[in-house]
Amino acid sequence: MTGGEMNIGDITNFANIGFIIDLVIDKTWLAQTIGDQTVAIGWAPRKDILAQENFPIHVWPLLKFDNPPSEKVITWNPSNPTIILTAPEVNRPETRKVTYEWRKGQTLIGYGKLIGAPLNAGRNVFLLRAIDQDMVGARPAEIEIVITCE
């Protein structure tokens, strides 16, 4: 993801191996632009790079929700105090492994793009967290969804 940093120590412990940046070996590589990129890793036992391998990668933008919903006001129904909530779209294609985690207060109420959620009379605040499972260590996207029952 943009702004993400790779450290060669996370890939290998071999000395004199690093990312090739401006013809110099560096221990870190910073993703600065979105899209397809090539990362070069090289071996320089002295100051000259003697071996190089190029790896194609795709840099994604930070995960975010496309159209966060506005607060919804509904009529309170004590005989059926639940609602079906739908997660808004995120800026990832359907082929990506994005999971959705729903919380009400400190309570985890479930996972999925659709979820049946308990309601109370008054203001109900749900925290929705989207996590791109294909990106290790990436920050999840979070929004609050508010349902007020009158």
* pLDDT of 1: 63
Structural domain span for residue 86: 72-149
* pLDDT of 138: 80
CB-based contacts of 71-75 (< 8 A; 24+ apart in sequence)? 71/146, 71/147, 71/148, 72/146, 72/147, 72/148, 73/147, 73/148, 73/150, 74/147, 74/148, 74/149, 74/150, 75/149, 75/150
**Number of domain units in the chain:** 2
Residues 53 and 77 in one domain: no
64 domain-assigned: no
98 domain-assigned: yes
* pLDDT of 46: 85
42 domain-assigned: yes
Contact 124, 146 (CB under 8 A): yes
- pLDDT tens, position by position, 36-78: 999 999 999 988 999 999 999 989 999 999 998 999 999 999 9
CA 46 centroid distance within chain: 39
* pLDDT of 6: 85
Residues 140 and 118 in one domain: yes
DSSP labels, 110-142: EESSEEEEE--SEEEEEEEEEEETTSTTPPPEE
Residues 109 and 48 in one domain: no
Residues 97 and 141 in one domain: yes
Provide the residue-wise pLDDT of the chain in tens; the chain has 150 residues: 667 788 888 888 888 899 999 999 999 999 889 999 999 999 999 889 999 999 999 899 999 999 989 999 999 999 989 999 999 999 999 899 999 999 999 999 999 999 999 999 999 999 999 999 988 778 899 999 999 999
66 domain-assigned: no
Residues 27 and 83 in one domain: no
pTM (2 d.p.): 0.77
CATH number at residue 83: 2.60.40.10
121 domain-assigned: yes
